[in-house]
Amino acid sequence: MSVTLTNGKIFQISYGLHVVSPLAEEIYSVIFEGSDAIRGVPVSKADFLATRVQFSQYTADPLLVIEVEARKGGPAIVCRMAAREGIYEADVSCDGEKLLDYALGGGRWMPLPSGAVDETTRFLREAGVQSFGILTLLQYMHILRRPVKGVIVDDRTAKALSASAVATELEGNAPASLIGKLYPYQLDGFRWLSFMVRGGIGGVIADQMGLGKTVQVICLLLEAAEQGRGPNLVVSPATLLENWRRELIRFAPQLRVCVHSGSRRTGLPDELRRQDVVISSFETAVADISLLRNLKWHILVVDEAQGIKNPDARRTIQLKTIPRQCVIAVTGTPVENRLKDLWSITDFVLPSLLGPLREFERRHPDTVSGAALLEPVVTPLILRRMVSDVAGDLPERIDIPQPLMLDDASAAVYETMRADAATHGPGAGLSALTSLRMFSTHPWLTDRFRNIIDPAECSVKLQRLLEIIDEMTDSDGKALIFTSYQKSIDLLVTEIGGRIGIPADFIDGRVQVPQRQIKVDRFAAQKSSAVLVLNPKAAGTGLNITAANHVIHFNPEWNPSVEDQASARAYRRGQTKAVTVHQLFYVNTVEEVIHDRMQRKRVLAAAAIVGTDGRNHEVDDLLRAFRISPMPST
């Protein structure tokens, strides 16, 4: 008979042709209780001491250790069982078939509490893990959320599994058919989205406004279509439907795209099934929920996902019933007011991860400690980059066109005004165009829809502006808003101040020149978000307003130099932040004609084309402004 220490980790007793791997309690009984046999085999304390191992009389803490190993193609998550006693720590021994109930390391033998190994193994199986070793990201997140009796989960991944860290470790190219080039951080974002979808998880892309969340998601949709996975569904606020359609055409024109909205939408599942991407609004998706449930969607994208932050809202409840393989939530504000907001979004992306809502609210109150406890569970699921994080990859000025669709009622009124002006011929001219521009800025400027009390209900543009400002406040941004009309200025100051609750002031011809700088200084002195609403002609020159990092053109100007000079109030020497310039305009209206005209003139100016002053286009632009209609052609 002999007692040996195999591989420095396992005690084995050999007698004849038989080998026994004793349990911790059997070894303990010999060392500390005077037993002289194990399973009928004579053995003494001296036999064990001859191995020169120090034996602990006390049970060690059982650990479930989770670590990250750097591997090609992305980090690998590994779990193992260990024992810790004071300064000593060692992996739990395995006899080749099963884990034993002790650990050997640093010349010290450490027994585990009775049942600890069985409890840990049972815990892993309940989390979907069949054995120690490699974990999927989904398994890792479930392990972190679930309590385990009598075992310490020792998460040593630190920040290595945060979405931003994983994104930079992944490899791969953007889809070859993508039109355009991604910034490095956008390529990282696409790789991460693809990685999460391949894992069947989905995720939340919560980059700060202006970093191009849409194009990163479009890359994912393009990849899915190229691999024959679809159809895919994008649900967004109605204000963003046209932007999604145009961005898909711009970056992935080969995709079959359908906008499912309005009175002409289909009621046939097969028609939607033939599309690569279907775009719909929150309201339409809820109204047509029975239709959308008839399809198994590959990827369900929820844009402006803070729109489902209320888990009790009908919209949230209904959308969560749409069959899908995975969800990508797109939002610049994953937590607006309460941790409950994040629960609702996360529950959509990965149901059950954070448990029932009542249990979540009990474990994660709206406190610093509640958020800290939640962070390691959700950071692998949320990719959040700020402009300051990727400033080296960005231009100093980010231009974001915001094409919008008039709602049906507004489109009908606009068409009546346009048709009436067209019957009066060229003589109607600029006066009629001015009326169309004012109506497009807001219907109240032409005394339309005065019966509607809430000005946002009759203006998609105002709705979108408020969405932008609301998201901007999440990072304490400041905005200059340019609009041509006094009534529009007053309306915006009132609505922004009243709805969002941030300081909102104005500068136009009513403000004496000496008073304008005082308002600018007051705006700059604000410690958090604030807005200045400006007439571009009154405030488009002479003022230096570099405290603003957002510029919003609420209505386009005929003369691009007027708009450019207005943007230069913030985007100029002395500005230390990237400036995001938003251009809001309605498609198929006079505003689109103006927007296209400005882009054309900027190209001509940049190219310095000799002999081309654009005069021949002036009449064409006027005529097109009278011909273009927001009403669908029949």
Residues 14 and 614: their CA atoms lie apart, in Å, by 98
Rounded CA-CA distance 67/85 in Å is 20
pLDDT of residue 426 exceeding 60: no
Residue 346 to residues 202, 383, 427, 522: CA-CA distances in angstroms?
A: 10, 13, 58, 40
Tens-digit pLDDT profile for residues 322-374: 999 999 999 987 776 688 989 999 999 999 888 899 988 888 888 888 888 88
pLDDT digits (tens, 9 = 90+) for 381-414: 999 998 878 867 766 778 899 999 999 999 999 9
Residue type at position 246: R
The distance in angstroms from the start CA to the end CA of the chain is: 96
What percentage of the chain exceeds 90 in pLDDT? 54
For 306, which DSSP code?
G
The tens digit of pLDDT for each residue in 228-257 reads 998 999 999 999 999 999 999 999 999 999
How many Cβ atoms sit within 10 Å of the Cβ of residue 610? 6
Distance CA 345, CA 331 (A): 10
DSSP tag of 613: -
pLDDT band at 612 (very low <50, low <70, confident <90, very high): very low
CA distance 541 to 530: 21
Arithmetic mean of pLDDT, 567-581: 72
pLDDT category at 541 given cuts 50, 70, 90 is low
**What pLDDT does residue 609 have?**
36
Q: How far is Cα of residue 7 from the mean position of the Cα atoms in its chain?
A: 49
- Which residues sit opposite 285 in a β-bridge? none
Please name which of 224, 277, 226 lies closest in space to residue 249, comparing C-alpha atoms: 277
- The confidence score (pLDDT) of residue 427 equals 57
Q: What is the DSSP string of 418-481?
A: HHHHHHTGGGTHHHHHHHHHHHHH-GGGGT-STT-SSTTTT-HHHHHHHHHHHHHHTTT-EEEE
- Identify the three-state secondary structure at position 152: strand
Q: Which domains does the chain have, with CATH numbers?
A: 2-155 (no CATH), 163-392 (3.40.50.10810), 397-627 (3.40.50.300)
Question: Can you say whether residue 34 is alpha, beta or left, with left for phi > 0 and alpha for psi between -120 and 50 degrees?
Answer: left
Residue located via tokens 């120690």: 132
Query: 113-121: long-range contacts (C-beta < 8 A, 24 or more apart)?
Result: 113/59, 113/62, 113/150, 114/25, 115/150, 116/62, 116/150, 116/151, 117/62, 117/81, 117/92, 119/148, 119/149, 119/150, 119/151, 120/62, 120/64, 120/81, 120/148, 120/151
Residue 627 pLDDT greater than 90, yes or no:
no
- Cβ-based neighbour number of residue 122 at 10 Å: 13
Query: What does the alpha-carbon distance between residue 54 and residue 36 come to, in Å, rounded to a whole number?
Result: 19
Lowest-confidence pick of 226-235, 572-581, 600-609: 600-609
Q: In the structure encoding, which two tokens stand for residue 8, read together?
A: 């420095």
Mean pLDDT, the chain, as a whole number? 87
What span, in angstroms and rounded, lies between the C-alpha atoms of 345 and 351?
9
Under 8 Å between Cβ of 2 and 8: no
For the chain, the helix, strand and coil percentages under 3-state DSSP, each to the nearest 5: 40, 20, 35
Q: What pTM was estimated for this model as a whole?
A: 0.80
Contact assessment for residue 345 and residue 331, using Cβ atoms and an 8 Å cutoff: yes
The answer to whether the beta carbons of residues 185 and 385 sit under 8 Å apart is: yes
Angle of helix 408-423 relative to helix 615-627, nearest 10 degrees? 120
Radius of gyration of the chain (CA): 32
C-alpha to C-alpha distance for 515 and 130, rounded to whole angstroms? 72
CA distance 347 to 360: 11
Residue 320 neighbours by CB distance under 10 Å = 17
Burial class (CB in 10 A: 0-12, 13-18, 19+), 340: middle
E-state strands within 70-98: 76-85, 88-94
What confidence score (pLDDT) does residue 428 get? 61
Q: What is the DSSP string of 340-361?
A: HHHHHHHHHHSTTTT--HHHHH
DSSP 21-70: ---HHHHHHHHHH---EETTEE--HHHHHTTTPEEPSSPPEEEEEEEEE-
The one-letter code for the residue type at 86 is G
Q: How many CA atoms lie within 13 A of 187 on its CB side?
A: 16
DSSP 379: G
For 328, other C-beta atoms within 10 Å of its C-beta total: 26
Structure tokens belonging to residue 272: 């939607």
Asked whether residue 422 carries a pLDDT value surpassing 90, the answer given is no
For 308-321, the pLDDT digits (tens) are 999 999 999 999 99
What tokens were used for 144? 């972190």
Distance in angstroms (rounded) separating the CA atoms of residues 314 and 177: 39
Q: Would you state the torsion angle of the CA atoms of residues 288, 289, 295, 300, taken in this order, to the nearest 10 degrees?
A: 110
